């Protein structure tokens, strides 16, 4: 096993806010708060026995998904992972539709048929999640292939975790994407652990991005807890793909604030590592930066946070009041009309 220091975060200087419009910065913060508070509420409901099924939370990884999705165009498409609540909200799936889906209701984004592991909404470019690790990577290449054949300006972005980079279908997807020069961005949310296995115990290299060279595409590793850094990297890669220059691999170093899922306390993680990464929490860090910017008042930030909390409470009421799917709906949407 490698030294503990490899596990600890290396925090770069914060990306400057000045070049960016206040509306974009405000939306970055709003979406990060929305994801955090949505998942905290979901966790509360799950522990109370009110919400069915199981959940995989993305607490701590909000900056990566928000920065990435805001760098895309509205008609671009993302693929989601089994840890997909934040990815869905970041791309524009509504809190109402997502909450209703987690409750298995007809008004859910997948009409109650997907649950937590299969959330998404193609009307906002979020392909319903595929819970099989690595299975979405070739699908992202396939969507990018369709965009190229149709000569649209769309880009596909494939979210995946570092554990996926050891799967054969992931390697096949990157190989074809590079060979066919497809407009796709492969984005790794590297939270260091595949379930309970640290990346240093599963790969002989330090970073997933090093594998990009084998496929002739650019690869980069960035700090994933700064939404501006992620935004800039994804926008550059997406613009490159739109221009016909092919795929790219971006690895975002981040950290989940809990175990793999709700029955995992995460006790396999060294306490020094946990404490160091928790200090990098992207939400208070970004809030502090906004408050140092003259364009943002503390009262406005508080109002934004209150509005988010009200919206989440309303989403719970919406979900609980919604009808369960009719039994006959189980036979719908099995085939293309």
Q: End-to-end CA distance of the chain: give it in Å, rounded.
A: 54
pLDDT of residue 275: 95
pLDDT in tens, 31-42: 999 999 999 999
Is the per-residue pLDDT at 299 higher than 50?
yes
**Number of H helices and number of E strands within the chain?**
10, 8
Average pLDDT over residues 265-282: 94
Confidence class for position 6, pLDDT limits 50, 70, 90: low
Confidence class for position 262, pLDDT limits 50, 70, 90: confident
**Could you tell me the two tokens for 109?**
């984004």
| Superfamily name with CATH number, domain 22-262+286-324 | Thiamin diphosphate (ThDP)-binding fold, Pyr/PP domains (3.40.50.970)
**Could you tell me the two tokens for 227?**
């939404």
CA separation for the pair 292, 298 (Å, rounded): 10
pLDDT of residue 2: 39
**Mean pLDDT of all residues in the chain?**
95
Contact 77, 154 (CB under 8 A): yes
Is the per-residue pLDDT at 281 higher than 90?
yes
pLDDT in tens, 224-243: 999 999 999 999 999 999 99
CA separation for the pair 40, 265 (Å, rounded): 16
CA separation for the pair 242, 78 (Å, rounded): 15
pLDDT in tens, 62-109: 999 999 999 999 999 999 999 999 999 999 999 999 999 999 999 999
At 252, give phi and psi (nearest 5°). -105, 115
Confidence class for position 15, pLDDT limits 50, 70, 90: confident
Is the per-residue pLDDT at 187 higher than 90?
yes
Is the per-residue pLDDT at 1 higher than 50?
no
Longest dimension (CA), the chain: 57
Confidence class for position 207, pLDDT limits 50, 70, 90: very high
Contact 69, 48 (CB under 8 A): no
- Alpha carbon of residue 257 to chain centroid: 14
pLDDT of residue 7: 79
CA separation for the pair 187, 156 (Å, rounded): 10
- Kindly list the domain boundaries of the chain, sorted by start residue: 22-262+286-324
Average pLDDT over residues 264-287: 95
pLDDT of residue 5: 53
Confidence class for position 3, pLDDT limits 50, 70, 90: very low
Average pLDDT over residues 13-19: 90
Give the DSSP H/E element, type plus range, for residue 190. strand 184-190
Q: How many degrees, rounded to 5, is the angle at CA 55 between CA 50 and CA 60? A: 120
């Amino acid at each position: 096993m490698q030294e503990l220091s490899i596990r600890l975060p290396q925090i770069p200087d914060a990306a400057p806010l000045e070049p960016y419009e206040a509306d974009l910065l405000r939306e970055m913060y709003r979406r990060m708060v929305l994801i955090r508070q949505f998942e905290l509420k979901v966790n509360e409901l799950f522990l109370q026995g009110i919400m069915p099924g199981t959940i995989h939370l993305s607490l701590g990884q909000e900056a990566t998904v928000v920065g990435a999705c805001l760098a895309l165009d509205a008609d671009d498409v993302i693929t989601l992972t089994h840890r997909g609540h934040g990815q869905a909200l970041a791309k524009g799936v509504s809190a109402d539709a997502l909450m209703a889906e987690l409750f298995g209701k007809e008004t859910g984004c997948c009409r109650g048929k997907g649950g937590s592991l299969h959330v998404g909404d193609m009307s906002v470019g979020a392909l319903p999640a595929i819970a099989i690790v690595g299975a979405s990577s070739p699908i992202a290449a396939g969507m990018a292939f369709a965009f190229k054949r149709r000569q649209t300006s769309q880009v596909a972005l494939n979210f995946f975790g570092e554990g996926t980079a050891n799967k054969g279908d992931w390697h096949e997807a990157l190989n074809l994407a590079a060979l066919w020069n497809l407009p796709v961005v492969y984005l790794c949310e590297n939270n260091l652990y595949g379930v309970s296995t640290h990346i240093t115990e599963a790969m002989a290299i330090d970073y997933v991005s090093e594998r990009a060279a084998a496929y002739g595409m650019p690869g980069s590793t960035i700090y994933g807890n700064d939404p501006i850094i992620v935004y800039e990297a994804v926008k550059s890669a997406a613009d490159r793909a739109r221009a016909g220059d092919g795929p790219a691999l971006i690895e975002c170093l981040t950290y989940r604030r809990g175990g793999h899922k709700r029955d995992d306390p995460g006790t396999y993680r060294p306490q020094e590592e946990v404490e160091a990464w928790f200090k990098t929490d992207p939400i208070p860090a970004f809030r502090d930066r906004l408050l140092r910017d003259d364009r943002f008042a503390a009262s406005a930030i508080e109002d934004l946070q209150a509005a988010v909390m009200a919206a989440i409470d309303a989403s719970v009421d919406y979900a609980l009041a919604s009808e369960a799917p009719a039994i006959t709906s189980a036979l719908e949407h099995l085939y293309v009309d």
